[in-house]
Amino acid sequence: MYRPAVLSRPLTVPAVRQVSAARWVLALAVLGAARAAVPDQQRLVRLLQRALEQQLAAEPLQSTANANDYFDRTLANARHLVLDNGLDPLPLPDEKLAVLGTGVVLHDGHLDGLSNVHRTGDAIMSYDGEWLGISGHIGFNGFGAGYSCKIEVIGIGPDVTATATITETSVFFSAKISSQTLAIELVDFKIEQVGKIDVDITGLGIFDWLLEPLTEAIVNLLDGIVVDIINLILEPMLRSFIESIDLMAIIKDLI
């Protein structure tokens, strides 16, 4: 049975000053313009640090458009990976529940909507002299799920269908870029909430007395499944994608 996974990966970036995405893009433009003329990475790093400090000293700009663009590009790649790997709909393993002394076998399960991952609200950029941080929130436009159920009472029982909808599920996401090495890494990925789960069960017939406890059991099961799928599938996928990013390619694209 799926069990909720515990994820504890505290943000280790020091206290930071908020810096607008527009300034960062200006710094990237400086770095990108010098790329062809400055092939040595240490000189690129020094140029990046100098450009960031110059932008921090300037008048603040309020735009978050490019921070949002970075998030949106990252999540667009995640959506493609989910679909390309056949993870939406995602098959769920068979389960067996004991409900009021009655065995209920859940089979042919599926979770729909993992590819609906998207940014919610504005992303934020910050810089502390060494690390450029990018953080924000991601969510899902409602998961859907379903199971076929077999009620087992003395070896017989009706075939039952359970369908579920799960409202907005929220995840906090943070990445950072080193101005020393230009390395990019996922720092924090933490589920903030699993949305409200509504389950509709049909076909119980004379076993309608099982409706409420069976609904509760499936809600609890799906809650754990959603947590595990996000932690065990989406988080490693995003981590692998982010940490393999070629920063120079992003700079070239941005400018």
Give 88-112 pLDDT, tens digit per residue: 999 999 999 999 888 899 999 999 9
End-to-end CA distance of the chain: 49
pLDDT of residue 37: 42
| Topology of the domain comprising 17-254 | Bactericidal permeability-increasing protein; domain 1 (3.15.10)
- CA dihedral of 104, 109, 115, 118, whole degrees rounded to 10: -10
Among 122, 170, 106, CA closest to 142 = 170
Please give the average per-residue pLDDT across 210-221, as a whole number: 95
Residue 47's pLDDT band (boundaries 50, 70, 90)? low
Which residue is it, tokens 């950072």? Answer: 176
pLDDT of residue 228: 92
Please give the average per-residue pLDDT across 211-238, as a whole number: 92
pLDDT of residue 45: 58
Q: How far apart are CA 16 and CA 82, in angstroms?
A: 33
pLDDT of residue 175: 87
Structure-model confidence comparison of residues 27 and 136, the more confident one:
136
Name the percent of the chain lying above pLDDT 90: 32
Give 157-194 pLDDT, tens digit per residue: 788 999 999 988 999 988 888 777 777 888 999 999 99
How open is the CA angle 166-226-171, to the nearest 5 degrees? 85
Structure-model confidence comparison of residues 68 and 227, the more confident one:
227
Residue 52's pLDDT band (boundaries 50, 70, 90)? low
pLDDT of residue 35: 43
Q: How far apart are CA 248 and CA 250, in angstroms?
A: 5
* pTM score above 0.95: no
pLDDT of residue 126: 75
Please give the average per-residue pLDDT across 201-218, as a whole number: 94
Residue 244's pLDDT band (boundaries 50, 70, 90)? confident
Q: Give the residue extent of every domain in the chain.
A: 17-254
Among 249, 221, 235, 238, CA closest to 3 = 221
